[in-house]
Structures are given as structure tokens and as C-alpha cells.
């Protein structure tokens, strides 16, 4: 019997497996697709990392730990996948993004600059602010390269003795009468483990059970790359950015050109879907609104279209993560519903899940992420599934 099995080897599963293995557990990772697949939520060349967390100040201690953990992983693997570019947040004074970022920065004494339009014009002349807009500049913000980061976590897991099975879709799991958990695969085979982590990303709801219905829905979001040749849009000159503008389908965010073009996308503006029915093709109707928004924000950046990639957000009702022990099964932990902003936290999520599995609790404050908020009578009670 394994000490622990991890279902799903995307960002969160890879991080969990690496942590378990480094702590000496006999652990195995189970992934439905091939190693390095790009069908989940953790691919697309860049994922933003920032400290002044507008979503809630409670994330700040976790992201501070994540910065250290990413750097430790870079040192351990000799790779570079964390790029500090600075992050420019743009919006009106009423913008929830700016107000939330300011609150987190003030509560946690984070370095950031308040910029008026004239300051932006001087420091970041590639950006155009609308009348009434201001900006916050966070010098420590930047982006991670998700493919390399996940690969690095899997390599660390492997070099510390973890086993991995790819092309091994898990169909179900059940508690064994004498203790432990039996995992069943689509091909009919089984595996027994003392503890189990469910890190199945957008597929997480397909592994839930009658005792805990995971309230995660899937949203289609498309990432786009434009041929922005002018050096002012390149890494080193242009910061990463997020602009919260009325009238747009959602906040537009993006990253400087680091070889493959300037990337831009709307945050959380897509249609609801399922992993099975997701439309993975990019249509002109996906590209046009992003191009238009980019032209207003970064004139000249929306050059010829280089390509797009469809991705899935796994949304909880309150857009906060779900990271907790399973309410009905000791020995099982659930990590899902990262709601389009989880990647930056992956190594910390791995530590929390490993803590929950092996120690029964975590030293990190994860009160925002409890399963209890979705149980009967709680604020986000999950409707019964058909």
C-alpha cells in the first residue's frame, strides 16, 4: 500500500507529489493524459504572479511563501521560469481590482507605486490610460512559465523517489473497510493507498461523492499571442499588466513579448462548459474583442495574430480556492476550484495538501478555502446534482 496517491499531475498535483516525496512518503502520482500534455489548466507559456492580492489579503502570506518556493525550485533544477517584470494594474478609483490591491498592499506593507496618468506616460509610455484612470505598479510582480515549472516539480518528485503513472485515468475511489482507500482506474485495475489527494483541476467534480459534492464549474477562456515587434513591448521594457475597464467582457491582462509574441486575454470572461464538451478551437469572435481592448490599452501591440490557446478555469461560487480535508473521509484531501488565479500558489498548495494528508492539519492559514463553506446550510450550499 502507498502512503499517498495523488490524482492529477497538473500544477497542484505535481507540487503535492514533489512535497510528499521530499518529505519521505512512498507516493504515487496518477495522470489521465501523457506527461507534458497541454489539455488541462496549466499551460500557455505565462501565468501572472503578484503580491498585492486584490482578491483578498489572506492570500498574501501564501504568495510570499510561493515566491521563495519557486526560487528554491529554480535553484534545485537549475532552470529559470520566474520572470520579474513588474505588474501594472490599471483602473478607475472605484475599480475593485485597484481597491483590493491597495488594501492588501497596505495590510501587508508591500512595495507598490501609485501612478497618475502623467506618471504612467513617463514611466510606461506604451500604455494609454482612459480619462479618470490611475495605476498601481508592483515592482515584484511578474510571470511564471507554467510548462517548465510543472515539469520541474515532476522532476523533483521523481528524483525523490515518487512513482508516476501517465495515461492512467482514475474512474473512482472508495474507502476500504479495514482502512485506506482503493483507487479504481478506467481499465478496471485498482491501487490501494493510505491517503489520497484529489488534484484533478477542471475534472475535479467528476471524482466527488455523495458526502461532498464539489461545487466547481468550468469556464472556457482563451489566451492570445500577437506579433508585437516594437522593442517597447519586449521583456525588460514592458511590464505585465491587468486593466479593469468598464465595457470590456472582463479585465484584460497580458505579458511582454518574451519570444513568442505579446500575450493578452480576458480574465474570466468565457462561457461555461465542461472538460468533455470544451470547444478547443479559437474563433475570430474570440480574437476580436481582445484585439480591440489591446488597441485601446497598448496601441501598436496588437500586431498580426500569432495564435491562441483555449484553457479552462475551474470556478467555485465565491472564486476562492477549495483546499481542505474531505469532510466525510479522513485521509482524503481535495485541492481544486482555483478559479483562474491558482498557478502562482502551486508549491504552497502542494505543501498544504501534503500537511493535510500526513499531519491532518496545515500550519498555513487556509480558512478562506474550507470545504465547509459548501456544505448543507453554509453560504454556498451546493445544489443536488441531477
Ligand X SMILES: Cc1cc2nc3c(=O)[nH]c(=O)nc-3n(C[C@H](O)[C@H](O)[C@H](O)COP(=O)(O)OP(=O)(O)OC[C@H]3O[C@@H](n4cnc5c(N)ncnc54)[C@H](O)[C@@H]3O)c2cc1C
The strands making up 47-49's β-sheet, listed across from edge to edge, are 47-49, 142-144, 82-84
Query: Segment near ligand X (CB under 6 A), from 18-26, 114-122, 124-132, 336-344?
Result: 336-344
Of 147 and 230, the one with the shorter C-beta distance to ligand X is: 147
Query: Segment near ligand X (CB under 6 A), from 105-113, 156-164, 195-203, 224-232?
Result: 195-203
The residues near 308 (Cβ < 8 Å, ≥ 6 apart) are: 222, 223, 224, 225, 282, 286, 287
The DSSP symbol for 378 reads S
Of 178 and 187, the one with the shorter C-beta distance to ligand X is: 187
Say whether residue 350 binds ligand X (CB under 6 A). no
Q: Residue 200 Cβ, how far from ligand X at the closest point, in Å? A: 4
Q: Residue 167 Cβ, how far from ligand X at the closest point, in Å? A: 9
Query: Segment near ligand X (CB under 6 A), from 2-10, 99-107, 133-141, 289-297?
Result: 2-10
| 84, 137, 241, 320, 337 from 141: Cα distances, Å | 6, 9, 9, 21, 23
Say whether residue 41 binds ligand X (CB under 6 A). yes
Of 22 and 47, the one with the shorter C-beta distance to ligand X is: 47
Total site size for ligand X, rule CB under 6 A: 38
Say whether residue 301 binds ligand X (CB under 6 A). no
Say whether residue 220 binds ligand X (CB under 6 A). no
Q: Return the C-alpha cell found at 308.
A: 491562441
Say whether residue 198 binds ligand X (CB under 6 A). no
Chain centroid to CA 239 = 20
Of 70 and 127, the one with the shorter C-beta distance to ligand X is: 70
How many whole angstroms separate alpha carbon 123 and alpha carbon 263?
Answer: 21
Say whether residue 201 binds ligand X (CB under 6 A). yes
The residues near 244 (Cβ < 8 Å, ≥ 6 apart) are: 89, 90, 91, 92, 95, 96, 97, 98, 251
Query: Segment near ligand X (CB under 6 A), from 24-32, 132-140, 228-236, 326-334?
Result: 24-32
Per DSSP, the three-state class of 316 is coil
User: Cβ distance 121 to 92 under 8 Å?
Assistant: no
How many whole angstroms separate alpha carbon 13 and alpha carbon 349?
Answer: 9
Of the residues 51, 224, 341, 373, which one makes contact with ligand X according to CB under 6 A = 341
The residue nearest ligand X at its CB is 10
State the residues that interact with ligand X by CB under 6 A: 7-13, 30-33, 40-42, 44, 47-48, 169-170, 199-203, 207, 221, 223, 265, 311-313, 336, 338, 340-344
Amino acid at each position: 500500500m502507498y502512503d499517498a496517491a495523488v490524482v492529477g499531475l497538473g500544477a497542484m498535483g505535481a507540487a503535492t507529489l514533489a512535497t510528499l516525496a521530499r518529505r519521505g512518503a512512498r507516493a504515487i502520482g496518477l495522470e489521465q493524459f501523457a506527461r507534458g500534455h497541454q489539455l488541462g489548466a496549466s499551460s500557455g507559456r505565462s501565468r501572472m504572479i503578484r503580491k498585492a492580492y486584490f482578491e483578498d489579503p489572506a492570500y498574501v502570506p501564501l504568495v510570499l511563501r510561493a515566491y521563495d518556493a519557486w526560487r528554491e525550485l529554480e535553484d534545485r533544477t537549475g532552470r529559470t521560469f520566474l520572470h520579474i517584470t513588474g505588474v501594472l494594474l490599471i483602473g478607475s478609483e472605484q475599480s475593485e481590482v485597484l481597491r483590493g490591491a491597495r488594501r492588501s498592499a497596505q495590510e501587508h506593507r508591500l512595495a507598490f507605486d501609485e501612478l497618475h496618468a502623467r506618471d504612467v506616460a513617463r514611466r510606461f509610455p506604451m500604455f494609454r490610460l482612459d480619462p479618470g484612470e490611475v495605476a498601481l505598479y508592483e515592482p515584484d510582480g511578474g510571470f511564471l512559465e507554467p510548462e517548465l515549472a510543472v515539469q520541474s516539480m515532476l522532476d523533483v518528485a521523481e528524483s525523490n523517489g515518487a512513482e508516476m503513472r501517465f495515461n492512467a485515468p482514475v474512474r473512482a475511489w472508495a474507502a476500504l473497510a479495514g482502512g485506506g482507500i482503493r483507487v479504481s482506474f478506467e481499465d478496471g485495475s485498482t491501487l490501494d493507498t493510505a491517503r489520497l489527494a484529489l488534484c484533478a483541476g477542471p475534472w475535479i467534480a467528476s471524482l466527488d461523492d455523495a458526502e461532498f459534492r464539489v461545487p466547481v464549474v468550468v469556464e472556457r477562456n482563451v489566451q492570445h499571442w500577437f506579433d508585437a515587434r516594437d522593442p517597447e513591448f519586449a521583456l525588460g521594457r514592458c511590464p505585465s499588466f491587468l486593466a479593469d475597464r468598464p465595457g470590456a467582457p472582463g479585465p484584460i491582462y497580458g505579458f511582454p513579448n518574451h519570444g513568442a509574441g505579446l500575450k493578452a486575454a480576458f480574465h474570466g470572461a468565457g462561457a461555461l462548459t465542461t472538460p468533455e464538451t470544451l470547444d478547443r478551437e479559437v474563433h475570430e469572435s474570440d480574437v476580436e474583442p481582445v484585439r480591440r481592448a489591446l488597441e485601446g490599452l497598448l496601441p501598436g501591440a496588437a500586431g498580426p495574430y500569432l495564435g491562441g490557446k483555449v484553457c479552462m478555469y475551474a470556478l467555485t461560487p465565491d472564486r476562492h480556492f477549495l483546499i481542505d480535508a474531505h469532510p466525510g473521509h479522513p485521509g482524503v484531501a481535495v485541492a481544486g476550484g482555483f478559479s483562474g488565479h491558482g498557478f502562482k500558489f502551486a508549491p504552497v498548495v502542494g505543501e498544504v495538501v501534503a500537511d493535510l494528508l500526513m499531519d491532518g492539519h496545515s500550519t498555513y492559514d487556509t480558512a478562506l478555502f474550507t470545504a465547509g463553506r459548501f456544505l448543507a446550510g453554509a453560504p454556498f450550499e451546493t445544489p443536488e446534482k441531477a
